[in-house]
Amino acid sequence: MQVIVNGQTKEFEPSISLQEVITSLQIEDKVMAAAVNMEIVKKDNWSTHALNENDKVELLQFVGGG
């Protein structure tokens, strides 16, 4: 199934969870916040939040700077 991750279309197995997407992209240690279709998903729910065809996922990381 297709999921749009940070503006890029990616192919995943059906019924994949948000946590599985993050893990498959090998960015689990970088992601601080996630939103699916413009709704924030709490980190505690990433492993149970199932994604659907054409969901739009935004994975955010906090960057320090000055």
- pLDDT tens digit string along 38-59? 999 999 999 999 999 999 999 9
d(CA 43, CA 49): 10
CATH of the domain at 10: 3.10.20.30
d(CA 46, CA 33): 10
> For the chain, what is the domain count?
1
Determine whether 8 is exposed, middle or buried from the number of CB atoms within 10 Å of its CB (0-12, 13-18, 19+).
exposed
Q: How confident is the model at residue 66 (pLDDT cuts 50, 70, 90)?
A: low
- Asked if residue 27 is part of any domain, the answer here is yes
Q: Tell me which residue range forms the domain holding 42.
A: 2-60
- Asked if residue 65 is part of any domain, the answer here is no
- Asked if residue 30 is part of any domain, the answer here is yes
- Asked if residue 46 is part of any domain, the answer here is yes
- Asked if residue 16 is part of any domain, the answer here is yes
- Asked if residue 66 is part of any domain, the answer here is no
- pLDDT tens digit string along 16-44? 999 999 999 999 888 999 999 999 999 99
